Structure formats: C-alpha cells, structure tokens
Amino acid sequence: MSDCLFCKIAAHEIPATVVYEDDDVIAFEDVNPQLPVHTLIIPKAHYDHIGDDVPAEVLGKVFGAVGIVAKLKGVEDTGYRVITNTGEDGRQTVHHLHVHVLGGALMPIRMGPAD
C-alpha cells in the first residue's frame, strides 16, 4: 500500500534500524520502545492484521523470525514476550501486520495505561 508506513520501511523508502531481513520479512527497532528490546517483525507483503486472511506460510515466516530476532537481540535465554495487536480495541496503531518482540528486562504486569 502506497501510504502504509511499514510498507515504506519494508521497501527501504523510510529509514529504520533493521535487525534482520530476508526475502519475506523485515525486523526493525520500534521507535517508541517499551523495554530495552522492542523489535517489530513484519511481512514485506501488506496485510492489515493477523485476521486479514494471511496465508499460513506468511505467518510461518513472520513467527519463524521471532527466534532469530530473540537470538540477535540477546534475549533468547532470558525470555521475551511476543505480541500482536489487532484492530482499534487491540490498540493496533499501524495497520500492517506486525509482531512485537519485547525483552531485556522483567516484564511488567501491565504495559501502559488502559484508558
């Protein structure tokens, strides 16, 4: 999608701190990190969210990159959280399927205001 921020990052039209990339996915640092490790993994193809008829092979590529990112970020053995926000009620702010890999510190019970 031409106006999608994450599509532009995937196409290298907008700079990002890339942690990992292959033909199908790209992982980059969140610009508003909630923990010392806060990396986003997205498919390069656009899907609005995880419920957007995403083919199983695309989901496999995205979630397959989680372990790679955890290892690269040094949280493979200490633990990390993987989150996918979906829709407005799920607090999805960029409508391009993405997963958050969070770690590097003890996870808080709650991560921010519930408004």
Which residue among the candidates 95, 96, 98, 100 is catalytic per the annotation?
98
Does the active-site annotation cover 100? no
* d(C-alpha 61, C-alpha 71), whole Å: 16
At residue 30, φ and ψ (nearest 5 deg) are -70, 140
Torsion of CA 41, 45, 46, 50, to 10 degrees: -60
Question: Could you give the residue numbers annotated as active site?
Answer: 98
